[in-house]
A and B are shown apart, each in its own frame.
Chain A
Amino acid sequence: MNYFKKFIFLFIFLIGANASNASTSKFIGVIGAAIGNIKNQNNEKLINGSKIFHGDTIISETKSNAQILFLDQTVLTLGEDTELTIDEFIYDPSNHEGSFVSNVKSGTVKFITGQISNKNPDNLEVKIPTGTLGARGTEFVVLSESNDKSTVVLLGPGPENSLGMIPGKLILSDGITSIDITNPGYEAMVTN
Chain B
Amino acid sequence: MFKKFIYKIFIIFILLAGVASAQISYEEILDNPTDLELNLNYAKQQESSGNLKLTISTLERLSMLYPESLEIKLYLLSILIKMDSKVKVDLMIRTMLNDPNTTTETKKLVAELLSDTGTKKKESKWFAYLDMKYSQTEEDNISAITKTNTLLQEGNIIPSPVVDSRLIVEYDKTNTRTSSLTIGKNINDSSSLFFNFGLDINTINKKETGDSDVASSSMSYFKVIGNHYISPYVYWTKLNYRKSADYDTLGLGINNTYIINEKNNLNYGFSFSDTAYVRTSVFDTAKDNDNGTYLSFIRHNYNLTKKTQLGTKLSLGRVESIKEFDSYDSKGINLSISQILPFGTLKLKSTYLKNDYDEVESFVSPTIIRKDESLVTVLSLDGLLNKVIPFNKFKKKYDKENSIFYTLNLKQSDVSSNILNHDIERNFFTVGLTKRINLSELF
B389-417: CB near A (< 8 Å → 1, else 0) gives 00000000000000000000000001010
- A162 touches which one: B31, B54, B84 (CB < 8 A)? B84
Judge if A10 is at the interface, Cβ distance under 8 Å: yes
Task: Find out whether the CB atom of A15 lies under 8 angstroms from the CB atom of B310.
Answer: yes
A96 to B84, alpha carbons, bound, how many Å?
27
Judge if B53 is at the interface, Cβ distance under 8 Å: yes
List A residues 1-20 near B (Cβ within 8 Å).
1, 3-4, 6-7, 10-11, 13-15, 17-20
Judge if B14 is at the interface, Cβ distance under 8 Å: yes
Nearest A-chain residue to B352, judged by Cβ: A3
Q: Select the residue from B50, B87, B310 with max chain A CB neighbours within 10 A.
A: B87
Task: Find out whether the CB atom of A18 lies under 8 angstroms from the CB atom of B308.
Answer: yes
Tell me which residues across on chain B come within 8 A of A162, comparing CB atoms: 82, 84, 120
Task: Find out whether the CB atom of A139 lies under 8 angstroms from the CB atom of B305.
Answer: no
Tell me which residues across on chain B come within 8 A of A96, comparing CB atoms: 262
Nearest B-chain residue to A110, judged by Cβ: B60
Task: Find out whether the CB atom of B83 lies under 8 angstroms from the CB atom of A158.
Answer: yes
- A73 touches which one: B54, B80, B305, B335 (CB < 8 A)? B54
- A7 touches which one: B64, B120, B352 (CB < 8 A)? B352
User: Which of the segments A27-35, A101-109, A143-151, A170-178 contacts the partner chain?
Assistant: A27-35
How many B residues have CB within 8 A of the partner chain?
Answer: 52
Tell me which residues across on chain A come within 8 A of B416, comparing CB atoms: 1
A15 to B261, alpha carbons, bound, how many Å?
21
Judge if B339 is at the interface, Cβ distance under 8 Å: yes
Nearest B-chain residue to A157, judged by Cβ: B83
A160-185: CB near B (< 8 Å → 1, else 0) gives 11111100000000000000000011
Given A48-B33, A48-B34, A67-B61, decide whether A184 and B373 contact each other with a Cβ distance below 8 A: no
A45 to B21, alpha carbons, bound, how many Å?
35
Given A15-B304, A23-B27, decide whether A156 and B350 contact each other with a Cβ distance below 8 A: no
Judge if A40 is at the interface, Cβ distance under 8 Å: no
Chain A, interface size: which category?
A: 35 or more
Task: Find out whether the CB atom of B56 lies under 8 angstroms from the CB atom of A112.
Answer: yes
Task: Find out whether the CB atom of B84 lies under 8 angstroms from the CB atom of A11.
Answer: no
Tell me which residues across on chain B come within 8 A of A95, comparing CB atoms: 263
Given A1-B373, A159-B84, A161-B84, decide whether A32 and B34 contact each other with a Cβ distance below 8 A: yes
Task: Find out whether the CB atom of B53 lies under 8 angstroms from the CB atom of A112.
Answer: yes
Task: Find out whether the CB atom of B53 lies under 8 angstroms from the CB atom of A20.
Answer: no
A32 to B54, alpha carbons, bound, how many Å?
13
Tell me which residues across on chain A come within 8 A of B85, comparing CB atoms: 139, 155-158, 161, 184-185
Given A11-B335, A15-B310, A155-B85, decide whether A69 and B64 contact each other with a Cβ distance below 8 A: no
Tell me which residues across on chain A come within 8 A of B337, comparing CB atoms: 11, 14-15, 18
A112-138: CB near B (< 8 Å → 1, else 0) gives 111000110000000000000000000
Tell me which residues across on chain A come within 8 A of B79, comparing CB atoms: 163
A148 to B34, alpha carbons, bound, how many Å?
37
- B57 touches which one: A10, A29, A112 (CB < 8 A)? A112
Task: Find out whether the CB atom of B87 lies under 8 angstroms from the CB atom of A184.
Answer: yes
Judge if A75 is at the interface, Cβ distance under 8 Å: yes
Given A33-B61, A73-B26, A112-B56, decide whether A49 and B84 contact each other with a Cβ distance below 8 A: no
Tell me which residues across on chain A come within 8 A of B86, comparing CB atoms: 158, 184-185
Given A1-B416, A69-B30, A161-B83, decide whether A155 and B61 contact each other with a Cβ distance below 8 A: no
Q: Which residues of A contact B (CB under 8 A)?
A: 1, 3-4, 6-7, 10-11, 13-15, 17-20, 23, 29-33, 35, 48-49, 65, 67, 69, 71, 73, 75, 77, 95-96, 112-114, 118-119, 139, 153, 155-165, 184-185
Ordered nearest first, which 4 A-B pairs have the shortest CB separation?
Answer: A158-B84, A156-B85, A185-B87, A32-B33
* 6 A–B contacts from the bound complex (CB under 8 Å): A7-B352, A11-B335, A11-B337, A157-B85, A158-B86, A184-B87
**With contacts A75-B61, A184-B85 known, what are 15 further pairs, Cβ within 8 A?**
A13-B14, A15-B337, A17-B18, A18-B304, A20-B21, A32-B33, A33-B34, A33-B61, A48-B33, A157-B85, A158-B84, A159-B189, A161-B85, A163-B50, A165-B53
